[in-house]
Amino acid sequence: MALVCALEGVAAQTPRPPSVTSILHSELQRNMQVLSKQTVPAYYAAYTLHDATTTQILASFGAIHRSEESRQRFATIEVRVGDYALDNTHPMRGDARAMSPRLMQVSLPLTDDEKPIRQALWRATDRSYKQASEALTRVRTNVAAKVQEENPAPDFSQEEKQGYVGSTSSYTLDAKGWEARLRRVSAVFAEDPLILRSQVSLTVEAENRHFVNSEGSQIVTGEVGCRVFVQGVTKAADGMELPLYTSYFATSPAGLPDERQLMADARAMVDLLGRLRTAPLVEPFSGPAILSGRAAGVFFHEIFGHRVEGNRQRNVEDGQTFTKRIGQSVLPSFLSVVFDPTLKKVGDVELMGHYIYDDQGVKGRRVTVVEKGILKTFLLDRAPLKDFPRSNGHGRAERGFLPVSRQSSLQVESSRSVSREALMNQLREEARRQGKPFGLLFENIEGGFTTTGRGSPNAFNVLPNVVYRIYIDGRAPELVRGVDLIGTPLAAFGKIIATDDRIDVFNGMCGAESGSVPVSAFSPSLLVSEVEVQKKVQSQETLPILPAPPARRRS
């Protein structure tokens, strides 16, 4: 027996094929033996069992709102009918109401009992097969009835079978200790009566995944993710809501920041919220700006990353900004963009975008999408493109969704980097050159969205929440509020003129077609010669009518 007896930790059990994998495997074989011989034959099936243990503790203004532990087991079932060239997942053209293919999902008992697991898988496989065969009928008609496809590629790539049994993961957590800690950290926000909403939460999840498919792959992986999320929302006198967020990620509870740091960061947030409340509003403006490393990471994720996802190049409804630009310049020549799921850390910061295998059982690979400004490839799942027949391990999905090509850890690399100080000076110079009294510094971004479809303008809108005016006359930076950063992608990338040498990491969840997946993005700060900002959507709700109630003394 191991002698280690940590209070909190992550346990890795000795690798050994768990029997549940063999149950999945044999039930899959049993079903495929019959389904592959039908008139509309199934040619591929995959089962993934997700076994997740989660602890969530949520505190607000000094009190616990939720403290729960749960364990759940689900299986997702994918059945494909037809063949690798044309199957039920083929994109339907000219039918806006066509349902996108979904996976079947069933809950399973928590023990490795064969009968109930097999019965659940069998039922779901049957439904999945029937839905797939109905879909194939629609696909075949659609292919026959519509104009010839511009870029026909097979629907499913051929990949080598994989065998991998990683360690399954679990964690131990001092829940009472964390409750007390989160109470204390969240109580900091109660000191400001104008912070109307606030929460401090801890989520720890151990997920063990068992993947088997009809091509012979068997993969077992286990991961632990721990996240602390801190949020505070205040309101300016004009009703504008001002939210700030901070989050921390680690692969073990011990890797999370200690209470002293959490308290300090909470106090800093309370202070910043107070200053934001009285910060002046920015009028619509165009001019030079710096995006800090985190902001630049989010910016690239939203505006660039989503446009190099392979599935968008297949979809004729999509804007396909980059589809035909392989080998061409898409970014300034001093920038490269790499997606690397194999990377676990940057400096001390662990990355949420890390994984060993993607959700289609393909090994995650480092992919240089842009090298010195030139577009080299796309992020690929098992739906190939004409010149890219194989996956590069970016087929990802939230449990229950059909995987499509998604981002992992995005990394912006620069060969034209200067110090932060020099970059600030360049910003002032650029503003002066353009005859502007100031440039903008986007210190933080809460998120953003972008449309890539053809039916609407291909624009982006990112939502900065900490913005400063940097005056050319050397005045101190001035905190401002009320702007969104808008633009169109191709124009925006051409205007990046320099970067600094400080890498900053954004860890977060990204939502798209295949649900919400963990991603990372990191980048140096970027100097952009021209950005455009517009006024934020503003809440018309006033401040609370009555002042906060008098606090009783807390004993």
Partner 1 sequence: MKIDRAAGSTKQDPAYVTKTEQDPAYVRRAGPGFWTRLVAVSLLLAAPPLAAQDSQILAAMRDELKRSMAELRMKGEAPPYYIAYEVLDRTLSDMSGRLGSIVQNPPRRVRTLRVEVRVGDYAFDSSRFAIQGFGGGPLTGETVIAPLDDDYDVMRREIWITTDTAYKRAITMFARKKAAFQNRTASDPLPDFSVETPVETILSSNEVRLKPDHAPDLQSDAAARVQQSSAMFASHVDVDVSEVALSQVHGTRYFLNSEGFAAITPIQIAGLTIFGESQAGDGMPVRQTFNTVGRTVADLPSAAELVARAKELSAGVTASRVAPIGDEFTGPVLIEGVGSAQFLAETLVPMMQARRPPDTENPRMAQGGASPFLNRTGLRVMADSFVARDTPSLTQFGGKPLPGSYVVDDEGVRAKDVTLVDKGRLVTLLTSRTPQKNFPQSNGHGRSGTVLAGVFQIESTQAIPAAELKQKYLALLKAQDKAFGYIVRGVRPDGQGDGGPGIEAIVKVTLDGQETPVRGMRFGNVAATVFRDLAEASHERAAYSYRAGAVSAVTVIAPSLIFEELDIQRVRDILQKPPVVPSPLK
CB of 114 to partner 1, least distance (A): 8
> C-alpha distances in angstroms, 198 versus 32, 178, 228, 334, 435?
51, 17, 13, 41, 41
CB of 554 to partner 1, least distance (A): 6
Q: Which of 46, 103, 120, 467 binds partner 1 (CB under 8 A)?
A: 120
Q: Does 123 bind partner 1 (CB under 8 A)?
A: yes
Q: Which of 68, 149, 191, 283 binds partner 1 (CB under 8 A)?
A: 68
Q: Which of 7, 237, 264, 551 binds partner 1 (CB under 8 A)?
A: 551
Q: Does 196 bind partner 1 (CB under 8 A)?
A: yes
Nearer to partner 1, 12 or 99 (CB): 99
Q: Kindly give the pairing relationship between strand 195-213 and strand 438-450.
A: unpaired
- Return the number of other C-beta atoms located less than 10 Å from residue 169's C-beta: 22
The residue among 156, 103, 71 whose CA lies nearest residue 362 is: 156
Residues 170-189 as x/- pattern, contact with partner 1 by CB under 8 A: -------------x------
Q: Does 116 bind partner 1 (CB under 8 A)?
A: yes
CA distance 190 to 188: 5
Answer positive or negative: Cα dihedral of 121, 126, 130, 132. Answer: positive
Q: Does 333 bind partner 1 (CB under 8 A)?
A: no
Candidate segments 323-331, 383-391, 530-538, 546-554, binder of partner 1 by CB under 8 A: 546-554
CA distance 64 to 67: 7
Q: Does 129 bind partner 1 (CB under 8 A)?
A: yes
DSSP string computed for 379-398: B--SS-BTTB-S--S-EE--
Give the helix ranges, DSSP H, for 188-292. 259-278
Q: How many residues bind partner 1 (CB under 8 A)?
A: 52
443-448, Cβ contacts within 8 angstroms, sequence gap of 24 or more? 443/292, 443/295, 443/467, 443/468, 444/244, 444/292, 444/294, 444/295, 445/291, 445/294, 445/295, 445/298, 445/299, 445/485, 446/243, 446/244, 446/245, 447/298, 447/508, 448/298, 448/299, 448/302, 448/303, 448/485
Q: Does 118 bind partner 1 (CB under 8 A)?
A: yes
Q: Does 194 bind partner 1 (CB under 8 A)?
A: no
Nearer to partner 1, 123 or 454 (CB): 123
Residue numbers 82-111 binding partner 1 by CB under 8 A = 107-111
As to burial, measured by CB atoms within 10 angstroms (0-12 exposed, 13-18 middle, 19+ buried), residue 462 is: buried
Q: Does 545 bind partner 1 (CB under 8 A)?
A: yes
CA distance 411 to 304: 12
Q: What is the chain's length?
A: 555
Q: Which of 63, 99, 237, 537 binds partner 1 (CB under 8 A)?
A: 63
Candidate segments 58-66, 87-95, 274-282, 395-403, binder of partner 1 by CB under 8 A: 58-66
CA distance 462 to 439: 18
- Cα 503 → chain centroid: 19
CB of 123 to partner 1, least distance (A): 6
Candidate segments 83-91, 117-125, 387-395, 479-487, binder of partner 1 by CB under 8 A: 117-125
- Cα 193 → chain centroid: 33
Q: Does 35 bind partner 1 (CB under 8 A)?
A: yes
Nearer to partner 1, 33 or 148 (CB): 33
**Angle formed by the axes of helices 114-145 and 19-35, to 10°?**
40
CB of 174 to partner 1, least distance (A): 16
Q: Does 493 bind partner 1 (CB under 8 A)?
A: no
Q: Does 125 bind partner 1 (CB under 8 A)?
A: yes
Q: Which of 69, 134, 238, 501 binds partner 1 (CB under 8 A)?
A: 69
Beta bridge partner(s), residue 234: 195, 242
Q: Which of 126, 215, 398, 532 binds partner 1 (CB under 8 A)?
A: 126
Nearer to partner 1, 123 or 535 (CB): 123
CB of 125 to partner 1, least distance (A): 7
Q: Which residues bind partner 1 (CB under 8 A)?
A: 27, 30-31, 34-35, 38, 60-73, 107-111, 113, 115-116, 118-123, 125-126, 129-130, 183, 190, 196-197, 541-542, 544-546, 548-549, 551-552, 554
